[in-house]
Amino acid sequence: MEKRTLGRSGIAITPIILGTWQAGKRGWVGIEDDEVIRALRAALDAGITTFDTAEVYGKGYSEQIVAKALSDVRDQVVLATKVFANHMKYDQVLEACDRSLQNLNTEYIDLYQIHWPSGSFNSEVVPIGETMEALTKLRDQGKIRAIGVSNFSGKQLAEAAQYGQIDSLQPPYNLFWRGVETDAMPYCIENNISILAYSPLAQGLLTGKFKPDHQFQEGDIRAKNKLFKGQNYERAQAALDRLRPIAERHQCTLAQLALAWLIAQPQTNAIAGARNTDQALQNAKATDVQLSPDELAEISTIGRTVTDHLDSNPVMWEFAA
């Protein structure tokens, strides 16, 4: 699989990144540790070398699963994790990083990211300069190699960049959720900041596997996803019907088509989760799908039939950040 450079860091990442929110189990159902571990190894065998997690995913459990799967091949992989919004003070950032290092069983984290802006989820508001000072110290110490932010607006990203080098932005971004294109993407392009798109398949909606009457099990975070509700869901189903002929033309799945479109966008890489080996392998194959400029434009237009009806709230779920 081709590799790209993470911002200005010099770190080589793959355009498909394996996401491990599901490995933490919290907010998910039917997740088995052994299956996830096998999925991570299968992803590596398929050429995916970049893996994303966070301290808040299962309160460190996801990081521990990543360690179980990849510790013996640490020199072959790029590990990214995130510090949560309630740990934004200087000392809290340093302590959180040490916990993540222990959970991941590693001496360094390749990419350390602010998960949500300070103040999110009723957390204490901490000046971004204080948080960035701690992150810069961690980088100077060699505990982290690069700094990123997640769920930041373009304005928040620009403010953070005044206090140190930011190499990545991790926003929600997929064919049906595209606020970043008009908000932060222009700044990222101008300043060579990589976009690491999370929920690139809209939590499975873009796979086409969910029927019009689908009901999620209790505890499944997707039950709160705005794209799975009401007219948004109906429009998405209609858009998927229009995407299917394009996928058939390329002999690929809808998921692979959506990922191929996404990683063809400026500065953009896709963080795709996998709960089993087959999903990991299928995601990796998205890099084989080559779309023409006309096809990219056609797919984009189809996606607009969903996104043009969404409000400006950047949070994909019906809970307050």
CATH number at residue 291: 3.20.20.100
Could you tell me if residue 270 is inside a domain? yes
Could you tell me if residue 315 is inside a domain? no
Q: Burial code of 128-155, b = ≥16 C-beta within 10 A, e = fewer?
A: bebbbebbeebbeeebbbbbbbbbbbbe
- Burial class of residue 190 in the structure, from the number of CB atoms within 10 Å of its CB (0-12 exposed, 13-18 middle, 19+ buried): exposed
pLDDT score, position 17? 98
Please indicate, yes or no, whether the overall pTM of this predicted structure exceeds 0.85. Answer: yes
Select the more confidently predicted residue: 127 or 222.
127
How does pLDDT run across 117-158, given as a tens digit for each residue? 999 999 999 999 999 999 999 999 999 999 999 999 999 999
How does pLDDT run across 167-202, given as a tens digit for each residue? 999 999 999 999 999 999 999 999 999 999 999 999
Worst-scoring range by mean pLDDT, 16-25, 200-209, 244-253, 258-267? 16-25
Question: Annotated catalytic sites, by residue?
Answer: 57
Total of domains in the chain: 1
pLDDT score, position 321? 52
Q: What domain range includes position 199?
A: 4-307
pLDDT score, position 120? 94
φ, ψ of residue 159 to 5 degrees: the values are -65, -45
Beta bridge pairs of residue 82: 113
Could you tell me if residue 321 is inside a domain? no
pLDDT score, position 27? 63
pLDDT score, position 219? 73
Could you tell me if residue 38 is inside a domain? yes
Could you tell me if residue 186 is inside a domain? yes
Q: Is the pLDDT of residue 239 over 90?
A: yes
pLDDT score, position 3? 97
Could you tell me if residue 314 is inside a domain? no
φ, ψ of residue 268 to 5 degrees: the values are -105, 135
Nearest to 37 by CA among 59, 77, 14, 68: 68
Q: Is the pLDDT of residue 96 over 60?
A: yes
Mean pLDDT score across all residues of the chain: 94
